Amino acid sequence: MPTDLTPYVVTGLFALGAGLIGVGGTLGGQWLAQQSESQRDAARKEADTQRDKRSDERAIRDRKAERLRRAYQELLILAIDMSVRAWRWRQLPAEIQKLPDDQRVARAEQLVEEAASRVGKQIDAIMLESDTHSAEVLDIFFRIDEALRELFFSVAHELQQPTDEGSGVAKELVDKIQLEVNRLGDIVRAHLAELEKPI
């Protein structure tokens, strides 16, 4: 009696198929795990690269902010000094009239020396940053300098030929200078605050 081997062959084929599926599943699972790990590694590398880039940008921004802070600080000190000079000059014609002739000449020479604004490295440092806010800051500063020069010529003229309206012009120029100094301070603070925002 011949034995029917079909059930054994079918069972063997199922066992073989299950074994192949198991091996394929194991290999497929390992491949998927490797792919997943590769993707995580790539994502970590990208995140590290982005973090390093932000860190570099932050360091560059912080150095720029520090350079600008120093330049702005020096420029503000100079602007405030100009404002104080303007206020003193406004009082000068009445003050000089009380002085003896030899002291008048010395005081007038002192006025000319004071009029020479000592600007240079502050403006250079600000211009090197080539920022739109920097241009606005310099525009304001130059308006202060221009008003101070006008005041100087007004006071110098008033010293030579006293007039009644001389003190009114001087007061307007002193007020203009003070307004511009205040505006300069506001712009500088706003610009520095903007530079300090988180990246």
For residue range 154-192, list pLDDT tens digits in order: 777 776 666 666 567 778 888 888 888 898 889 888 888
50 compared with 169, residue with greater pLDDT = 50
In a domain? residue 132? yes
In-domain check, residue 71: yes
Domain at 186, CATH number:
1.20.120
**182's tokens:** 């205040």
Q: pTM of the entire structure? A: 0.62
Residue 31 maps to a domain: no
Q: Please, are residues 65 and 195 in contact by the beta-carbon 8 Å criterion?
A: yes
Torsion angles phi and psi, residue 117, rounded to 5: -70, 135
Q: pLDDT by residue (tens digit) across 128-146? A: 765 667 778 888 888 888 8
7 inside domain: no
Q: Which structural domain, as residue segments, surrounds residue 122?
A: 57-195
Q: Residue 165 and residue 173: Cα distance in Å, rounded? A: 13
User: Would 8 be classed as within a structural domain?
Assistant: no
Based on the structure, what is the number of domains in the chain? 1
Instruction: Output the DSSP codes for 54-83.
Output: HHHHHHHHHHHHHHHHHHHHHHHHHHHHHH
Residue 51 belongs to a domain = no
Q: Is residue 37 part of a domain?
A: no
